Amino acid sequence: MSTCIFCRIVDGSIPAKVVHEDEHTLAFDDVSPQAPVHTLVIPKRHVAAVQDLGESDQALLGRLLLTCRKVAADKGLAEPGYRIVANTGRDGGQTVFHLHFHVLGGRHLGWPPG
Ligand code: DGP
């Protein structure tokens, strides 16, 4: 059994509110939402972080961003707007080391981030 919490969501051994699934990506609502919409988009394949991606991952990256776009549209965020965030590494605030994009929206999001 995988020790990675998001791999366990992919294999179904940890429940999650899944909002999109395709061959390569999974999207599920964040357990600790920071905005009215807070969904995580991940590759099904374990990749720890953005820095672990390579040239051969171009198609996967495109697929992940298109999944973010679809989640945002499905959640009604296309017109008001939203934010896509990939916290990366220690200073980036990454706490789960399985690549994920946060899709946040449903309220005005401040800038710059903390
Ligand atoms: P980050 O700090 O960028 O690594 O974000 C990790 C996010 O993952 C954080 O917003 C909380 C969320 N999270 C952690 N564990 C779980 C879980 O078991 N289920 C769900 N749905 N979200 C989780």
CATH fold of 5-105: HIT family, subunit A (3.30.428)
Q: How confident is the model at residue 26 (pLDDT cuts 50, 70, 90)?
A: very high
* Whether the predicted pLDDT of 103 surpasses 80: yes
pLDDT of residue 1: 72
Write the DSSP assignment of the chain as a string of letters. ----HHHHHHTTSS---EEEE-SSEEEEE-SS-SSSEEEEEEESS----GGG--GGGHHHHHHHHHHHHHHHHHTT-TTT-EEEE---HHHHT--S-S--EEEEESSPPPSS--
pLDDT of residue 2: 83
pLDDT tens-place string over residues 56-96 = 999 999 999 999 999 999 999 999 999 999 999 999 999 99
pLDDT of residue 53: 97
pLDDT of residue 85: 98
* Whether the predicted pLDDT of 22 surpasses 90: yes
Distance from the alpha carbon of residue 81 to the mean position of ligand 1, in angstroms: 22
- Ligand 1 atom nearest the C-alpha of 16 is 21
pTM to 2 decimal places: 0.98
pLDDT of residue 46: 98
Is the Cβ atom of 28 under 6 angstroms away from ligand 1? yes
Mean pLDDT score of the chain: 97
d(CA 25, CA 63): 7
Distance from the alpha carbon of residue 56 to the mean position of ligand 1, in angstroms: 26
pLDDT of residue 114: 84
